[in-house]
Amino acid sequence: MKYKLSICLPAHRTHLWENFYNSLVESIGDKYSWELIMVGPKSHPSFIKNKPHVKFIKDYGSPSRCGQMATSEATGELMMMASDDGLFVRGAIEQNIELMDTLPREDVLALRFTEGRSYKGATMHPEYWMAHHHPPLRVVPPDYKIILLGMFRLDYFREMGGWDCRFEHLNMNGHDLAFRMQKNGTTVHMSPGLVCNHDWNPNSGDHIPVQAAYDNCDLKLFKEITAPGHNRPLKIDYDNWKKSPKVWKRRFGDLSV
């Protein structure tokens, strides 16, 4: 079946999935067809197991690998990335699908969100969505935007190669993708309003491997591919996720699968 929207994400926090799913239903509404593709290491709970438009794939790879693997299974005209610690705003996804339908094929939406404990993060300042607001990202023109939670046309996302899965987490490779797209002529539009609130605690044990990935791999790789004189291709191999380790050692150690 061909869906209007595919929601794709790495997922392992099963205790959050019921509220995540229910908020997704309310945010999309009844107008558009959609599918949810979750890739992660845990067995899916009974609540979500029998949902007709939910696909779960078991994988022990990095968040980056799992996210790209999810997009490889997608059938939607549009693709939206997500995180399982998010709760969506009622009607917001429907509103942004309608906005995407008015935009050129190569244009994308950066979806506004908050981060904070118990889903109570403050609204981001408008400058937050600009690359130059963040010192490590001042390697592109000052009018470039970032895309941390995005909505794309799936075929264009794949054409550009999606996320570079040499990065372990879906963060710095999101910036890399956003910058490659903008260099390719894409305009990044901001969602009209808030789309999602995230429960975020940087001191939690769950966050430790993510922070380690940033400190020990992702930031260094980003600096390498954006260094002066580095000829970073605009389009990369979409199947690059298949070269990523099947087990993310920062979280799972030397697990044999």
| Residue 9, both tokens | 């994400």
| Residue 77, both tokens | 């005209």
pLDDT over 90 (residue 2): no
CA pair distance 3, 1, nearest whole angstrom:
6
121-137 mean pLDDT? 97
164-168 mean pLDDT? 98
Question: What is the pTM (predicted TM-score) of this model?
Answer: 0.96
CA pair distance 178, 188, nearest whole angstrom:
8
DSSP-based three-state secondary structure for 16: helix
197-221 mean pLDDT? 89
119-145 mean pLDDT? 97
- Residue 256 Cα distances to 60, 118, 208, 249, angstroms: 10, 35, 22, 11
| Residue 45, both tokens | 């709970």
9 phi/psi in degrees, rounded to 5: -160, 150
CA pair distance 217, 220, nearest whole angstrom:
6
Kindly provide the residue ranges of all beta strands, DSSP E only, lying in the chain, ordered along the sequence.
5-10, 34-40, 54-58, 78-81, 86-88, 108-116, 150-153, 188-199
pLDDT over 90 (residue 50): no
Kindly provide the residue ranges of all beta strands, DSSP E only, lying in 89-164, ordered along the sequence.
108-116, 150-153
pLDDT band at residue 212 under the 50/70/90 scheme? very high
pLDDT band at residue 256 under the 50/70/90 scheme? confident
Higher model confidence: residue 53 or residue 222?
Answer: 222
**What residue ranges define each of the domains in the chain, with the CATH number in brackets?**
5-229 (3.90.550.10)
122 phi/psi in degrees, rounded to 5: -75, 155
| Average pLDDT value for the chain | 95
Contact 192, 95 (CB under 8 A): yes
79-100 mean pLDDT? 98
Nearest to 200 by CA among 138, 141, 113: 113
